[in-house]
Structure 1
Amino acid sequence: MSSDLVPAAPETASKLDAVLGPAAPDNRISDATRDRITRSVPENTRAAYERQWAAFTSWCQAAGRGPLPATAETLAEYVNHLADLDRAPSTIEQAIAAIRTVHRHNGHPGQPDTAAALSVLKAHRQDRAQAGKRKRKAPPVTLAPLRAMIDATDPATLAGLRDRVLLVLGFAMMARRSELASLQIPDVTFTEDGLVVLVRSSKTDQNAAGAEITIPRGSHPDSDPVRVVRAWLDALAELGVTDGPLLRHINRGGRLQGGSMSGRAVNERVKALAKAAGLDGAELYTAHGLRAGGPTEAAKKKVPVAFIAAHGRWSPLSPQVHEYVRAVDRWEDNPMRGIGL
């Protein structure tokens, strides 16, 4: 989260980025400084932590407990409350992280102690496992569902052209939805070999060093990144648009809007296209499936993990990218394969 220079006052702590420290001169910061500190935090993270802190303070008020500083017992009881609501373990982990972050920003580092809360969470995981509940994962958008979703678009419309760019770049870049939403028209360069796409900053590039992603030409006319992006840019140019956001809102009347699609809008389009394509389990598909589809197909081609990780902007030791590879290897390198059962 943001710098410890910006503690969250109890009365306004539900907004982590809109608070001041003590009135002493040495503790004052300007609006411009606060703005930059706030913008250093990924928007999705900040929004999620604000929601978690608001929920915690609301529960504390109802339970007659103090949220700041909260005791270890209060945190454990809150985690137990979330477990009673059958919240996903990942959601509870996020709540704990948010609560600890607010405490750190208010001068209470290391508080509240999480030992008891984590024990409650461990028991909750065990209870869910015994009940047969597992984490629901978004299916990877591999080539077959990708082409089905592309076929569900109408290339004669602006929305169809844009959606094809969204799908193809999401897959070929192994892109996060936030990266797709942030793309600008000048970030895409055509070369003899394909495309070079500039990702100005991302979740794992907090210093905004940027990364250039090379995407080779494709062999299928409907999913070739060069053809798909060129068709969309030509359509924008006919409307006099040659700069600004790459992926733009299009209203229900099919008219182009000025603003960029948000990460949430990107996710909603992927869900809608999965449903339109009639995919099995369409309700499970998300924009993350595009990011997962690329490494899954690359692993089938035996592309080295280090190359996949670099292309998708993961750490070479990222457990996530190895999970995609293992999902392929457990079938291709299965010890029962070829035994003759």
Structure 2
Amino acid sequence: MRTPPARHDTLRPAPPEVVVPARYRHDWALFVDWCLATDHSPIPASPDTLALFVHEHPAALGTQRRRFSAINAVHTRHGYPAPGRTEEVRRQLDNARAVRLERLAQLLVQRAIELPHIGWPSGLFGRRDALLVVLASTGMSFADVARLRRRSITVHDDVLVIITADGHRFRVPPDPETGDNPAVVIYQRWAQIQVFLDLYPGTHLLRQHLTDPTDIVTDPLDAEQARQPLLCPIDRWGHLPHGQFMTAQSVSMLVRAHLSGRAPTRKALPVPTQVDTHTLVESDVVLDSSYYERGAAARRRDHESLADLAAVFGEIEARVDELLTVLEGL
């Protein structure tokens, strides 16, 4: 008999005794019975497990909220993350919220698409902010966005997959009508910036790259690169500290600014070409025919004027010697 595959929500063993508050025992028992019947772990339960449970047990909104409270309370009581607090599950519970957030997500993605990705430093800020706005469109909290690392995002079958520090998974699928996924393109643009800085630290070559982008071969991240922040602050000179995370407050301010259309506008500045920065171009100088004669006459005149300086310096040295002799005799 073939062994069934291991489930992703059984990473930690369930505690030997689950203490359930009296008011939640009925709802918790229903959830446990369903989990045992469908080969899911009741504790710790993944958000996907809870979402499936809700789907297979339709009920009034108040009843579903009570079930969520029961499952969350038991998990929190035993030191596990509450599966009912993820954005995916909350949207399933509140249809109005889901519709509202879907409209907001579409608006945020459109804002991200409109941001510049070429030019210095506008393209640098535009690429980072575009990814930041896309991540916010998933419903992820600003704190979770700020804590993401470079290893937190992957692309599978043109679907952007984000896993937060708490293990919550978010997906940004392609547009069902066009089949395109601008979120993947936006992420890859920012990832190219980070790969470029891995190869060429500093902003000098980065300016050239953003002015005239070239394809970059992306290798798998090493351990140190994978731990680096996905999003980092950028100063006005375009410097990106790899090891510094953005704050949740900064993420919130930028998202709200882009959403309201009040984000700071950064114009693309002219960038000198490689030839301009490494080649000294001398200007043409036209000399008249008497240039050398005038120069020779000036040097001769100065030589005659300074001819007596040797005698003057000799007198000064003699006077200094006399003063030193007097001082030594005091």
Same fold by TM-score greater than 0.5? no
Give TM-score, length-normalised by structure 2: 0.35
Higher Rg of the two aligned structures: 2
